[in-house]
Structure 1
Amino acid sequence: MPLQSDPEKYQNIFEYIIELAASYEEKNRICQFILVDNDVPDHIVNDLSGYIVAHFSSERVNGLPVGFIDDAEE
């Protein structure tokens, strides 16, 4: 049986990272998070679009560019 993605798990992870970044900002400290995920649910992408710097699709969904890993030639 294939694993099912858990949207609440994703939401909790992203919210934690955003709260952690906010705590750094309050202390005038710099931080950067690079999160790579190939299966983020659409509603989370929409809710957090202000935090997304780059968005790729292996299948060019919605005109998105192909990411580096999927762009590799055999």
Structure 2
Amino acid sequence: MYHSFGEVARTINPVVAGWMQYYGRFYPSALYRLLARINAYLVRWIRNRYRRYDATRAARRELAEITHGYPRLFRHWRWVTTAF
């Protein structure tokens, strides 16, 4: 289990960077949907990890604040900052 956003970012950033490099060149329209889906998974992780963000709206707000405060934490936030 991951204990912080930093651990999650260290785990998925190399994989996402490879996807962005390959699909960003050949099929970027599919990539945007995938990257937005990663943000949806991050919202779900926030909801499960922090019970005070049990509501989806509160978790999305928290993700938006983290995105604003640390815009380069996750590699895919350079392209997509929205969630499903």
In the superposition, the TM-score normalised over structure 2's length comes to 0.37
In the superposition, the TM-score normalised over structure 1's length comes to 0.40
Q: Which has the higher helix share?
A: 2
Larger Rg: 1
Relative contact order, CA 8 A, sep 6+: which one is greater?
2
